[in-house]
Structure 1
Amino acid sequence: MDLGLDDKTALVTGGGGRIGSEDCETLAAEGAEIVVLDVDEDGAETVADGIEDDGGTAHAVECDLTDREDVATTIEAIREETGGIDVLVNNAGMVDARARVENFEDDIWERDIAVNLTGSYNVTREVFPAMCERGWGRIVTMSSMAGWQGGFGQISYSATKAALIGFGKTLALEGAQSGVTSNVVAPSIVVGALADLPPDQLEEVDEHFARIAKATPMRQLGREEDVANLVAYLASEQSSYITGQVVGVTGGIDLFSF
């Protein structure tokens, strides 16, 4: 299937990370020009260089999503260089904090709201109006199963990922008559090559991962490409009648089973 991305420019926030880099590479393989945006300039450059080596077109851009002025200046520069942003993947986020609410650190709470939620708002606010003016755009926002169902010890992550569901649905409403779709992707845990390990070996590596795999009807964890393939489809011409949806990439872990 031709996803119709050959003449599109896609910006992926957190593009230097595990899932973000896979999103970038998959969109590039479909012909999109990629903007790898990350606060880690070296990470962004590594991803962009890899795409260029494979024959694609990519730009590495350093930007702090929590700095509204930096975001505005950066998006304007990207627009001048590429001609405009057709696809925005709100992928950047922090997921490293774990503590019960009574022990949670206030500065981590504030950081995660600033990056996960306000960062997505800052960049979308700069990109969305131009999409509506052109009459075509795709916004894909990364939530999580923790945003659907909560996550023990993940109060800031779960809260921000839940908020992003409302964020994405609101954009869908506001862009619906302007050719702009907005959808939310909600993965369970993705672990790359560890997903190939049999249960006994996975348990030796990480007991937490092993418990999640056993609770998943497919009895395996996800891979970054499982997420990226969905992102590419939702970013495509072919998904034009899909908007305001929350799509899980979960192996069925959100299903009731016994």
Structure 2
Amino acid sequence: MSSWDEFLKGKTAIITGASRGIGRATALALAEAGADIVITDILLESDDSNEQVAEKYGPIAQIMQSTNVIFSEKTTMEIREMGRKAMAIKMDVTDREQIKNVFAHVKEEFGKIDILVNNAGTLDHVSQITDQNDDFWQRDLNVNLTGTYNCTKAVWPYMKEQQYGKIINLSSVAGTLGGFGQASYSATKGGILSFTKSMALEGARHGINVNAIVPGVIESEAFRMGNPNMNERMIKRTAFRRPGQPEDIANAITFLVSDKAKYITGIGLNVSGGIELFTF
């Protein structure tokens, strides 16, 4: 057995928005590395209220719900087959009381919370400023930025008490480069980077590492449902001339939440295929 085998053994991780895409890939990767996993999402396969929930949160959620692209409980079954503990819980990152109750339940069931991956987010609001939908602007702030804040604040006392914790926040190259017609998404993802640095400063005195991942073009379910012409333009801007896979993000997260990265905090790690480079 190498030093990398099961290097998260004995750790408990919560991944928000993990019913598909990067969240699902991260849950599986952390489990493969030895961690017990708690998947949270607004959509669970067995939940009869999925249609109403999806309607509240917009087009992408509605498409995923209507096409059954929901793998929260399926993923927990796969993780249990690896010999890990796993649980799928319905949780809305904008509902502070619900988050508080879920985290308390996880602490009771698993004994501790070592890792939090703030992955839940929205990405379906594309409009120039004159056509911006004010309700979607507020939704994006509530889910992407305030949702990250809500979950971080809720997990903080547990990590502070044990003087140990790893928090990963999902940003985006839209937050570092901007995105045409993506004012709300870019603003929230840029804010996440600043929030990450502030939390890293606060967390250092309590043994809590806080870092951000900055994905580029990732071939998730949502990407495949996007405009093919726009997708091709983004791929051509990427140095590798291809989209990344959710597993590429999951692998970077797995490293950063491990003790292999114990002296790394406050960074925004580009996992972007070089889209931020001067590509021509």
TM-score, normalization: structure 2? Answer: 0.85
* Residue from 84, 96, 100 that aligns with 2:112: 84
> What are the residue-to-residue correspondences of 1:133-148 with 2, within 5 Å?
133-148=161-176
The residue that corresponds to 2:277 in the other structure is 255
CA contact (8 A) 2:217 2:235 kept: no
1:19 to 19, 22, 35: 22
> In 1, are the aligned partners of 2:38 and 2:89 still within 8 Å (CA)?
yes
Distance of 1:107 and 1:207 partners within structure 2: 27
Aligned counterpart, 2:195:
167
For residues 99-248 of structure 1, what are the structure 2 equivalents within 5 Å?
99-192=127-220, 206-248=228-270
Indicate the residue corresponding to 2:44 in structure 1: 41
Which amino acid letter does the alignment assign opposite residue 220 of structure 1? R
Residues in 2 aligned to 1:192 and 1:38: alpha-carbon distance in whole angstroms: 16
Q: Which runs of 5+ in 1 are unaligned?
A: 196-201
Residues 191-233 of structure 1 show CA distances to partners (whole Å, capped at 9, x for unaligned) of: 159x9xxxxxx9xx82222222221111111111110000000
Q: How far apart are the structure 2 equivalents of 1:91 and 1:167?
A: 14
Q: Which residue number in structure 2 is paired with residue 96 of structure 1? A: 124
1:164-207 deviations in whole A, cap 9, x for unaligned? 001111110001122110000000110159x9xxxxxx9xx822
1:37 counterpart SS class: strand
Q: 1:13 & 1:23 partners in 2: Cα distance?
A: 10
SS in 2 for 1:138: strand
Which amino acid is the alignment partner of residue 88 of structure 1?
A: L
Q: Cα RMSD (Å) of the superposition?
A: 1.9
Query: What is the alpha-carbon distance in structure 2 between the residues aligned to residue 209 and residue 100 of structure 1?
Result: 18
Comparing 225-234 and 248-257, the one that deviates more: 248-257
- Which shifted more, 211-220 or 14-23? 211-220
Partner residue of 1:5? 8
Deviations 1:18-45 (A, max 9, x none): 1100000000000100000111122321
Deviation larger for 211-220 or 241-250:
211-220
**For 1:35-66, what per-residue CA distance to the aligned partner results, in whole angstroms no more than 9, with x for missing partners?**
00111122321221222234332100111111
> Paired residue for 1:31?
34
Partner of 1:68: 96
Among 52, 56, 61, which residue is 2:84 paired with?
Answer: 56
Alpha-carbon distance between aligned partners in 2 of 1:63 and 1:91, rounded to the nearest angstrom: 13
**Secondary structure of the equivalent of 2:166?**
strand
* Number of aligned positions between the proteins: 250
CA–CA distance in 2 between the matches of 1:56 and 1:96?
Answer: 34
> What is the CA distance between 1:68 and its match in structure 2?
0.9
